[in-house]
Amino acid sequence: MTATMTADAFTRLSRRQLAWCAAQAIPDGSYVNLGIGVPTLCANVMPADREIVLHSENGVLGFGPAPAAGQEDRDLINASKEYITMRPGGAFFMHTDAFVMIRGGHIDLALLGAFEVSGAGDLANWTTGDRRFPPGVGGAMDLAVGAKAIWVLTEHTTKNGEPKIVDACKYPLTAAGVVRKIFTDLAEIDVTSDGLLVRAMVPGLTLEALQAMSQPRLRLADDCRTISAPAA
């Protein structure tokens, strides 16, 4: 028996590299909520030359990276239940006020995970409808209607290789038409009124190969960049 292995000409970003790419795109001075999953990793790879204030819906503003081993404080965690540290200027408040900030339009940007994102910016990230896998909406719907902008951070395809960027979400929606930018382990894509625009891709990836892993039609930006993320 002969098998032909076709090696991909590109390498997917690690979760940390994906978080790094999104973190580098956050404007200086922003107040930013980091959702559960890959987004919370952004706190560890924020650009050092900018002041960006991170918000966590359990009641924390102005947190920093994960603590060094042995420095964990069981009273100090983010919404992903991971240990964090505080930066000077940070604050604690009750949960209700964390959502006053979210719903009241005070958060500039929210970075969220996704099961699916559609070409129109619809987001599905709270339930698969499978009773063996209970739903979990958390603050996703509040952020989707309240944050001034929503970026999604996700693997480009599911574990089975199915596209997560789809024509229409098959899972129940978190919110319709809210996603502005999608960072995946392969590309950075803007959601525009003219459809999806590829702003950057990992080295060696072609638009044709990326299109084959995405349902909606993709367009290549004139100034499409090659992603160069630090190793690890």
Partner 1 sequence: MAIDKIVPTLEAAVAGIRDGMTIMISGFGFAGVPNDLITAVLDLGVGDLTVISNNAGTGTEGLAALIGSGRVRRIICSYPRSRGSDRFDARYAAGEIELELVPQGTLSERMRAAGAGIGAFYCPTGVGTELAAGKEVRTIDGRDYVLEMPLRADVALVQAQKADRWGNLTYAKSARNFAPVMAMAADLTIVQAREIVPLEAMDPETIVTPSIFVDRVVHVDNDREWDI
Annotated catalytic sites, by residue? 57
Segment 30 to 69, residues that bind partner 1, using CB under 8 A: 56-60
- The answer to whether the beta carbons of residues 201 and 182 sit under 8 Å apart is no
Among 53, 141, 197, 207, binds partner 1 (CB under 8 A): 141
Q: Rounded to whole angstroms, how far apart are CA atoms 232 and 224?
A: 24
* For partner 1, the closer CB: 9 or 137: 137
DSSP state of 211: H
DSSP state of 160: T
* For partner 1, the closer CB: 52 or 123: 123
| Both tokens assigned to 70 | 């042995």
Owner of token pair 């993709």: 218
Owner of token pair 């951070």: 153
* For partner 1, the closer CB: 79 or 200: 79
Segment 86 to 125, residues that bind partner 1, using CB under 8 A: 86, 92-96, 98-99, 102-103
Q: Rounded to whole angstroms, how far apart are CA atoms 102 and 109?
A: 10
Shortest Cβ 140–partner 1 spacing (Å): 8
Shortest Cβ 120–partner 1 spacing (Å): 14
- The answer to whether the beta carbons of residues 164 and 152 sit under 8 Å apart is no
- Point out which residues bind partner 1 (CB under 8 A): 56-60, 73-79, 81, 86, 92-96, 98-99, 102-103, 127, 131-142, 145-146, 172-176
